[in-house]
Amino acid sequence: MTGPHAGDQLWWGICSCGAGFALYAWGWRGMRRRWAILNIPTSKARSVAMGMAELAGKARVRETPLTSPVRQLACVWYHVRVTRTTGSGKNRRTETVFTQKVGVPFDLEDATGKILVIPEGAEVTGTETCDLEIVWGLMTPDVRSFLGRIGVFGGSGHHVHEWAVLADADTYVLGDVGKVRDAAAERMKKVGALLRDWLKLPDRKAAIDSDRDGRIDQAEWDAARGAAQAEVLKEETAAPAGPSVAIRKPRAGYFLIAAGGEKTALKAQGYPAIFVTGGILLVGLGIGLLYEAGSVPGAAWGGAAVVTVAGGWSIARHFRS
């Protein structure tokens, strides 16, 4: 086809293909996340292996708990957002006037033990603790107090949202399990530092030289090292160090935290198969328009068929899982 209509079809064909591939990629990403949630088995805190793992348990506060700013609930993570809607019809506009996300490290505890969770970089799905649209200035006392603290006048059109991972609530975590510290290496450093301190003290150095010959031989040094190790172990027993293993954001992969469990994590992913299907349809439409415009040879339909088959296979795997 030639003429002015061919130019329009070329433009719309390119746009349709671009949007289709973007939609397909987005949906495929979501489906891979769903597969990870569904197919990675739930591990126990005591026996979890290094690498990507899924755990479920109670979110336990390590030190001082966070307090959600609106409802004043003890939690380990919260997200609060205040929006304001003005105008109506075509002039209706919604803007965010305040938003804040805060999270602190917490322990995930199950029946076998607990593991440290470092939430930095996680995609968190919290429990909705507040969803209040203010009409005629009517609001609960805690919302009024919160808005006063952040300096927002809570007139009509304001909408207050708050989500939180509550302390002691069921929590799901999918992330990378790895070492946050090397206990053995730290112990060796402490032993070495203690031995150097002993050698600086004349009385202690003389005690290490047990045969009083003016030099410290290998046997005397080994005995001194054993005494230093025993003292360091005693100190560690009296004041245990922090955890050596934690679950956190991997270098490549997913890091998900969801209040409520695996079902909440799955629900948060939505329905990515819809995006994959829409992407396939848009790519097919775009190739058809390009073909009609004379910009794509007939072999392009083979490419469309490959995309369709690949998309159908991915959707079938999605629903099978």
Q: 92-131, pLDDT tens digit by residue? A: 888 999 999 999 999 999 999 999 999 988 989 999 999 9
Which phi-psi region, left, alpha or beta, contains residue 2 (left: φ > 0; alpha: ψ -120 to 50)?
beta
Looking at the whole model, is its pTM more than 0.75? no
Task: Assess whether pLDDT exceeds 60 at residue 19.
Answer: yes
- Which stretches of 99-255 are DSSP H helices? 141-150, 183-200, 202-208, 218-238
200 pLDDT band, cuts 50/70/90, is: confident
Range with the lowest mean pLDDT among 57-61, 82-86, 216-220, 286-290? 286-290
Distance CA 174, CA 42 (A): 9
Locate 24 and state its tokens: 């397909």
Could you tell me which of 73, 67, 65, 72 has the C-alpha nearest to residue 141? 72
83 pLDDT band, cuts 50/70/90, is: very high
pLDDT digits (tens, 9 = 90+) for 258-297: 998 778 777 777 666 676 777 777 777 777 766 666 655 5
For 75, 176, 199, 209, 249, the CA distances from 121, given in Å and listed in that order, are 18, 12, 46, 54, 6
pLDDT digits (tens, 9 = 90+) for 222-269: 677 777 777 767 775 665 555 678 898 888 878 999 998 778 777 777
Task: Assess whether pLDDT exceeds 90 at residue 182.
Answer: no
